[in-house]
Amino acid sequence: MKKTLLIILAIVVLLVLFTVGKYNAIVKYDESVKTAWSQVENVYQRRLDLIPNLVNTVKGAAAQESGVLIAVVNARANATKVNIDINDAKSFAQFQQAQGEVSSSLSKLLAVVENYPTLQSIQAFRDLMTQLEGTENRITVERKNFNDAVNTLNIYIRSFPANIVAAIFGFEKAQQFEANAWANVAPTVDFNAPTAPAQPTPTVTQ
């Protein structure tokens, strides 16, 4: 009888240790996703922060392009209103759509800018272009890091026997970024105007 109780106790202890180990591993991967997401939010916010100065600078040299400028401002305003839950597919899709609208409006603005070579002589504009390019590059990097972290978590919680622990404690599959249809048709903007030094070409990221 005593031996049987010891065996049962040993099995219970092993099950507890197994569960704790799997739970801690899931928590680690889940925290990695949250950390990666905070970096994504930071770079997207950085892009939103650049827009007011960019719009004001362009407006000073191309006020007649009010329609394009208003579209950028409205897209930025809409993006700031989205409340994101990275575990909710609908919420995540809304975030992607809002940021996609910002990307699309910025792409149109940069295309229009080509018609105003005098802008290239404005130092503030050139500085903004450099900052925008750097921000777009960071968005690409941080989105990839986030998707990698999500992929690691999703694979783990769907694999046996970790999937049992995930189900018990309510861990769910996280959402990933997906390329939007317009992500591959961003305009190629030539900032190499004769009145200013050659500038790199920003590629707007969804």
pLDDT value, residue 75: 96
- Look up the CATH superfamily of 23-184: LemA-like domain (1.20.1440.20)
The DSSP output letter for 180 is -
Name residue, tokens 């575990």: 87
Domain ranges of the chain: 23-184
State the DSSP string of 59-122.
HHH-TT-HHHHHHHHHHHHHHHHPPP-TT-HHHHHHHHHHHHHHHHHHHHHHHHHTT-GGGGG-
Per-residue model confidence as pLDDT tens for the chain (206 residues): 788 888 888 899 999 999 999 999 999 999 999 999 999 999 999 999 999 999 999 988 887 888 999 999 999 999 999 988 888 899 999 999 999 999 999 999 988 888 888 887 788 888 998 999 999 999 999 999 999 999 999 999 999 999 999 999 999 999 999 865 444 333 333 444 333 333 444 445 55
pLDDT value for 6: 85
Measured distance CA(53)–CA(66) in Å, rounded: 15
Q: What is the pLDDT of residue 143?
A: 96
Burial of residue 97 (number of CB atoms within 10 Å: 0-12, 13-18, 19+): middle
CA distance 173 to 88: 9
